[in-house]
Amino acid sequence: MPKSALRKWLVGGPPLAYLLFFFAAPLLIMVVASFRSPGDFGGLAPLLLHDDSGTQLNLTTEAYERFFSDFLYTGLFLKSFGYAALATLLCLAAGYPLALLVARSPRKYRDILVLLVILPFWSNFLIRVYAWMMLLGPQSFVSAALNGLLGLAGLEPVSLLYTPTAVVVTLVYVHLPFMVLPLYANLEKHDPALLDAAQDLGAGAWQRFWRVTFPLSLPGVYAGAALVFIPAVGIFAIPDLLGGTSGIMIGNVIKQQFLDTRDWPFGAALSLMLMLSALALAALAARFGRGALR
Amino acid sequence: MPLLELRGVTRRFGDFVAVDNVSLQIEQGEFFTLLGPSGCGKTTLLRMIAGFDAPDGGAILFDGHDLLGVPPEKRNLHTVFQSYALFPHMSVAQNIAFPLRMAGAAPEAIRQRTAAALEQVRLPGMGARFPAELSGGQRQRVAVARALINRPRLLLLDEPLAALDAKLRESMQAELIGLQREVGVTFVYVTHDQSEALALSHRIAVMNRGRVEQLGAPAAIYAFPRNRFVADFIGECNLLPAELRAMAAGDIRLEVRGVGEVHATHGEQLGAGARGVLALRPEQVQISSDRLPEDSRNAFGGIVEQLLYRGDVTVYTIALAGGARIQALLPNAGGARAAGFPVGASIQVGWRADAGHFLPD
Amino acid sequence: MRRSPWLWCAGIAAYVFLYAPLVLVVVYSFNDSRLNAQWVGFTFAWYGKLFQNEQMLLAARNSLLIALAVSVVSTALGTMAGFSLHRHRPRLLPALVLATIAIPEILMAVSLLIFFVLLNITLGMVSIVLAHITFCVGFVALVVRARLAGMDESLTEAACDLGATPAQAFRWVTLPLIMPGIVAGALMAFTLSLDDFVITFFTAGVGSSTLPLQIYTMVKIAVTPEVNAISTLLMLLTLTLILIATRLSPSVLRTDTSR
């Protein structure tokens, strides 16, 4: 029936067109840009070169050669992955008890508890980073306490700010709600009768957790891990503000290439590598995490 | 001309045939029921009549016009949904008035007719309430009022009483019958409850696996089931494997396994040796401690194995001398300790020749 | 269900972990000292300074205007998308919507930068609005779709059965029932736009500044409790909006997981 087909296009068409034009197309252009040459004043060199022999495409794999030739960049990728992975594990350690607590609370309190978990996420991202700058700064009580302890042990005082530690801690802080929510969504669907049955058959508290609850929650774990890891890898504001020189991540280099050095093809190449790794991880997570969503 | 005609209607979902070449004619003013177990295709059929689904084959004609391609809003027939589908954000009056508003009726006419509709379903003055405040039975009545207000020729009802408890269901059944007679609208009713179908309908189409097994008036279907499925689905029935011995005018002789030689009067024309079942309704089986009434053409001895007391009747499970088990239903009439037969009692069991039917395989 | 004492401890510790830093920011916005080191005394001075800061006020104005424009457009597009996702089950749209939400922000930011420059679109308020809409549409779509999924399908069928055309059914039955979801989506889009940093950072160009960008500059260059003050105000605004949104449509809480 043509009338309903028209309706489908009228309703779904505009958002589809918008996203294709402003989301998909720019990403494709970015892929192409990674194969172009840098312009004379930064940016991109023209795509088409006109000379006596005709018009030809000005493409090169310069950017990728540079990426693979200098271990600096690969190393940076690995470091970023490392920080993100560490942050993910810490999020899991901190977030799992929280999700479990909320999931096992009486029904009428659950929504409020979930709301309380998610509310910090809605405050400005920079504010949350800034808060940690305050907490880890040399004059904060956290630093004072830590250095006091170190002093007692006869060790040198350390600076918490502008270190990889600061980066990882802030990554955990910023992404914690993303780990808690899928976990909670999964855990709240667990049938309490399963645990009762396990206890009835002789399982102790830890065993009940490790052999019943945790395995059942794995799809939620994978989903949460993906929601933390994938954005975390590409983050640049956190290392930029409190990473110092030692806590740099791949996001910083990308920002540098685009806004400071203005070597856009190289920045695009780095972005593409980031995108591919994110896609690969998302595919993995989708495969394992299917049970958590919905 | 029938009001609604289905000609060879078929509907497939992949490999699964939901409705298999169904042909029916429904007359103006009748209470017609589609009866069958879940998955038999009755709801699919109803949705196709309403317009929410289209048949893969065959045609649906309403008043002689083919409904193919006609969207639900243009069909002059309405549905009462199983969940009632009352609009939660509208009051009862607004719900009932909805069809009139969609048709563009004048506000004064809407007001009058809505009030009249509320009276008709015995909910006067409830117009300002909201569906959430009503009981199940009240919501059901609002749904019916809403579907009838602009006087459709045909009303489709999809198991409307399924969500109500037993007592309420009975009183609603009586109301529905009364309403249908009063308004004169043709009802096409879908249910899996066979006693409900028997109580409400002028005619029943018994469906199974997408096909119509038998079509007829309730009494005819009950007394003369055409095949094993219908015999088993409608009411209770003893189904005993049997073989046809001889067939003569008005008299059929069967060899029933575990029973013996049985006389029956109904059955199709078949040759000797045909296999099938003897269908015998429990209420047709008589029990006595010594002698049975004269017209019990079939009589056998047996022992009471089990009994189920149901208040108004008792169902006996009897082990016959030949080995078979049959059920007999006896009313608990007479005095408080009226003739009951205790477990283990030796009794005589009998039934008339025309009580049993032979249904071939 | 059982919740052992250590579970309580770990859970409460997590909540403290979540809120303590934010509480600190708020508290120190009233600190009568330039340094965020020790508590000296209570003052509103920093708030006063904020309102005299021309740059800050301009950035605030920009942020609000952008958020308003973004909210309107992305709610419209997002509602259509949510409807399409639920009713028509298209192939491409769900993937795109999911991608806008799951992708690392920097990728969207960078690709949009290249895009705008190549198309010769000047970087400024317009480019920011267009960029924000791109990632807000997806969120609104998911909220609307969740709301539609929670709605009883037979209601729209009943409407059509009783004589409503699809347009009438939408107007009188579907729309009123999903309206809370749409409003929640609009508030969410407003908040996301107001708070956005990364994408704005890349697509703002030289002339325009938004509140997050302003905060970034202040934090990088010279930290004063003014930052605490503006942070507190911003937090107050966004949290209020989100609380209203969750009242209207609990599915706002589930957007990350209800795919």
Per-residue model confidence as pLDDT tens for chain B (361 residues): 889 999 999 999 988 999 999 999 999 999 999 999 988 889 999 999 999 999 999 999 998 899 988 888 888 899 999 888 999 889 999 999 999 998 888 999 999 999 999 988 888 888 899 999 999 889 999 999 999 998 899 999 999 988 888 888 888 898 889 888 888 899 999 999 999 999 999 999 999 999 999 999 999 999 888 888 999 899 889 999 988 888 877 778 888 888 888 888 766 677 777 888 888 999 998 888 877 777 778 888 889 999 898 888 889 999 988 888 999 998 887 655 555 788 888 888 888 888 888 888 7
Ordered structural domains, chain B, with CATH: 4-226 (3.40.50.300), 236-360 (2.40.50.100)
pLDDT in tens, B314-343: 899 999 888 889 999 988 876 555 557 888
Q: Which pLDDT does position A150 carry in this prediction?
A: 76
Q: Do B98 and C164 touch (CB under 8 A)?
A: yes
Query: CB within 8 A of A255, min separation 6: which ones?
Result: A236, A240, C106, C201, C202
The confidence score (pLDDT) of residue A289 equals 59
pLDDT tens, residue by residue, C161-178: 999 998 899 899 999 988
For C168, name the nearest residue in chain B, comparing CA atoms only: B102
Q: Is residue C17 part of a domain?
A: no
In this prediction, residue C109 has a pLDDT band, given cuts at 50, 70 and 90, of very high
Q: Which domain holds residue C220?
A: 54-254
Q: What is the pTM of this model?
A: 0.77
Indicate which of B49, B86, B87, B150 best probes the interface with C, i.e. most C CBs within 10 Å of its own CB.
B87
Q: Please give the helix or strand (H or E) that residue B99 lies within, else none.
A: helix B92-102
Q: Which CATH number fits domain A76-107+162-289: 1.10.8.620, 1.10.3720.10, 3.10.310.30, 2.60.40.420?
A: 1.10.3720.10
Q: Is pLDDT above 90 for A58?
A: no
Nearest 10 degrees: CA dihedral of C41, C42, C43, C47? 120
Contact criterion met (CB < 8 Å) for C197 and A119: no
Number of domains forming the structure of chain C: 1
Mean pLDDT along residues A131-154:
76
**pLDDT higher than threshold 70 for residue A115:** yes
Q: Does residue C2 fall inside a structural domain?
A: no
Give the one of B71, B85, B101 whose C-beta lies nearest to C158's C-beta: B85
Tell me whether C81 touches chain A (CB under 8 Å).
Answer: yes
Q: Is residue C165 part of a domain?
A: yes
Chain A residues with CB inside 8 Å of C77's CB? 14-15, 18
Chains that touch B (3 or more CB pairs under 8 A): C
Token couple for B9:
């209607």
CATH number at residue C187: 1.10.3720.10
Task: Report how far residue C58's alpha carbon sits from residue B231's, in angstroms, rounded to the nearest whole number.
Answer: 84
Lowest mean pLDDT, pick from A1-10, B218-227, C103-112: A1-10
State the pLDDT at residue C218: 85
Which of A109-113, A164-168, B99-103, B211-215 reaches the highest mean pLDDT?
Answer: B211-215
Res. C52: pLDDT tops 70: yes
pLDDT tens digit sequence for B68-94? 888 888 888 999 998 889 998 899 999
Are A44 and C254 an interchain contact pair (Cβ–Cβ within 8 Å)?
Answer: no
pLDDT greater than 60 at residue C256:
no
Q: Which residues, listed in sequence order, are joined to residue B254 by a DSSP beta bridge?
A: B244, B262
Torsion of CA C237, C242, C243, C244, to 10 degrees: 90
Looking at residue B197, its pLDDT comes to 93
- Closest approach of chain C CAs to the CA of B52, in angstroms? 8
Chain B: give the shortest CA distance to residue C172, in Å.
9
Q: Which residues of chain C make contact with A7, given a CB cutoff of 8 A?
A: 166
Give the nearest chain B residue to C169 (CA atoms): B102
pLDDT of residue C248: 79
Q: Helix, strand or coil for residue A103?
A: helix
- Looking at the complex, does the CB of residue C150 fall below 8 Å from at least one CB of chain B? no
C48 and chain A in contact, CB less than 8 A: no
Q: How many angstroms separate the CA atoms of A287 and C213, rounded?
A: 38
pLDDT on residue A41: 66
pLDDT band at A293 (very low <50, low <70, confident <90, very high): very low
C257 pLDDT band (50/70/90 cuts)? very low
Q: For the residues of chain C, what is the DSSP string, one character each?
A: ----HHHHHHHHHHHHHHHHHHHHHHHHTTBSSSSSSS---B--HHHHHHHH-HHHHHHHHHHHHHHHHHHHHHHHHHHHHHHHHHHT--SHHHHHHHHHHHS-HHHHHHHHHHHHHHTTPPSSHHHHHHHHHHHHHHHHHHHHHHHHHTS-HHHHHHHHHTT--HHHHIIIIIHHHHHHHHHHHHHHHHHHHHH--HHHHHHSTTT---HHHHHHHHHHH---HHHHHHHHHHHHHHHHHHHHHHHH-GGGGGTTT--
Q: Is residue C31 part of a domain?
A: no
pLDDT of C134 over the 60 cut? yes
The verdict on C139 touching A (C-beta cutoff 8 Å) is no
ipTM exceeds 0.95, yes or no: no
Task: Tell me the pLDDT band of C255, cut-offs 50, 70 and 90.
Answer: very low
The mean pLDDT value for C229-247 works out to: 84
Q: Using one digit for the tens of pLDDT, what is the confidence trace for A225-253?
A: 888 888 888 888 888 888 878 878 888 88
Specify if C117 maps to a domain: yes
Reported as a pLDDT band with limits 50, 70 and 90, residue C159 is very high
User: Are B147 and C176 inside 8 Å of each other by CB?
Assistant: no
Answer whether residue C207 is part of any domain.
yes
Q: Is residue C170 part of a domain?
A: yes
What is the reported pLDDT for A50? 66
- Residue C23 counted as domain residue: no
Reported as a pLDDT band with limits 50, 70 and 90, residue A196 is: confident
